[in-house]
Amino acid sequence: MTPDGWLGAGRDGQRPWKNEIRQVLQMEPDLDVEVLPHEHGLMIKEIIFGRLGLSRGLVRRIRRGGQVSLNGKPAFITQRVQAGDRIRITFSDEPTLIQPQPIQLDIVYEDQSLVAINKPAHMAVHPTATYPDSTLANGLAYHWQCQGLARKIRLLHRLDRDTSGLILVAKEPYAYQQLVKQLRNRSLKRTYLAIVNGRLENQQGVIDQPIGLSGQGHGLKRAVMAEGKPARTYYRVLAEYKHGSLLELELATGRTHQIRVHLAWMGHPIVGDQMYAGLNSAIYRQALHAWRLRFNHPRTNQPMELKAPLPEDMRTVLKAYQQ
């Protein structure tokens, strides 16, 4: 069995959350809330730190360049409120220092708070000494520049250069803080598809092995080692072939190269993974794809599910295995 839509219909397919998109697109980036009856008599800061769950760092940012208003008038966060009052919080932001470049992006979803991009393989996520430009971040900076936005690029997670699939980026400080919370408490679910060598002994399971630097591969290569950091990966076999298997994987932690290292440790490295499996003429990168994201929208708390169909190079490998 394979999960619904892992091949996908592409960006033009029906999306069950299209009505929510229309609702979210109309929102302003400021946070506007009504004081509830049980909050009568509280100070604004008690609501900010309580129901709204803002971090102290984000409140400091508001004090530096944002604003808090009560019923349309500037207010101190120590002011007390009455039921029915309206609190409005304006967040300040800072422009990105990343150079905008006109790079075509496959945007799966975008609203005032976040954007999800289907990153192709062979594209770095952000500039580095090795890849100083033509990255996803460069393209996103240009995309926002065309919208008249000067926003810092806040990546919720990263993908290796040769891993394809979904990247989630927050467009404003509040959304970033709320999504980071979900990432930490593991309610933000990241699901991957991988083609691996061989057939696994068990159809599903968990790999709970610490990961650390191996000291090889120019300081980049990782390995399972007792002194490493805790790492946990859940896996499920979706299809089996004579020479390999298609797996669905979900991260419980987010260590560098985690899926690649764990599968290599199991004896079933990802096909095409030059660092952990060696060269493979069937595909010129690791056959790993960030297929699905599940989370609650940081503003509406509505459940979101975003998918990116399996890319053509991985489909080609599966077709060859099926013959």
**Of 61, 90, 119, at which residue does a domain stop?**
90
Catalytically annotated residues: 160
User: Does any domain span residue 79?
Assistant: yes
Residue type present at position 209 = Q
Domain end residue (candidates: 59, 90, 121):
90
Predicted confidence at residue 19, as pLDDT, reads 33
Instruction: Give the CATH number for residue 42.
Output: 3.10.290.10
pTM: predicted TM-score of the whole model, two decimal places:
0.84
Residue 10 domain flag: no
Same domain, 161 and 309: yes
Does 44 share its domain with 159?
A: no
Residue 59 lies in a domain: yes
Cβ of 53: how many Cβ atoms within 10 Å?
A: 12
Where are the alpha helices (H) located in 154-284, listed in sequence order? 173-184, 258-266
Number of structural domains (the chain) is 2
The whole-number pLDDT of residue 217 equals 62
R_g of the chain, CA atoms, integer Å: 22
Residue 6 counted as domain residue: no
Helix spans in 86-156 (H): 136-146
Identify the DSSP state of 317.
H
On whether both 54 and 151 belong to a single domain, the answer is no
Q: Do 277 and 262 meet the contact criterion of CB atoms below 8 Å apart?
A: no
CB 277 within 8 A of CB 293: no
**Contact indicator for 71, 91 with CB cutoff of 8 Å:** no
Whether residue 258 sits in one domain with residue 152: yes
Q: At what angle do helices 173-184 and 56-65 cross, to 10 degrees?
A: 170
CATH of the domain at 299: 3.30.2350.10
Mark the ranges of the chain whose per-residue pLDDT is less than 50: 1-4, 9-28
Torsion of CA 159, 185, 16, 204, to 10 degrees: 70
Residue 38: inside a domain = yes
Q: Are residues 42 and 150 in the same domain?
A: no
Query: Is residue 12 included in any domain, yes or no?
Result: no
Q: Quote the pLDDT of residue 1.
A: 42
Strand (E) positions, 35-124?
A: 67-70, 73-74, 86-90, 107-110, 114-119
Residue 137 and residue 57 in one domain:
no
Residue 242 and residue 111 share a domain: yes
Range of the domain at 317: 95-322
The pLDDT of residue 65 is 62
At position 318, the amino acid (one-letter code) is: L
**Residue ending a domain, choose from 90, 108, 138:** 90
What are the tens digits of pLDDT across the range 65-82?
A: 668 999 999 998 999 999
80 and 207 in a single domain? The answer is no
User: What is the C-alpha to C-alpha distance for residues 261 and 276, in angstroms, rounded to an integer?
Assistant: 7
Contact 157, 169 (CB under 8 A): no
- The sign of the dihedral angle between the CA atoms of 10, 14, 17, 21 is positive
| H/E run at residue 128 | none
Give the pLDDT score at 29. Answer: 61
Residue 235 lies in a domain: yes
CB atoms within 10 A of CB 72: 8
Question: Are 187 and 314 in a shared domain?
Answer: yes
Residue pair 120/167 in contact (Cβ under 8 Å)? The answer is no
Q: Are residues 268 and 281 in the same domain?
A: yes
In this structure, are 291 and 156 located in the same domain? yes
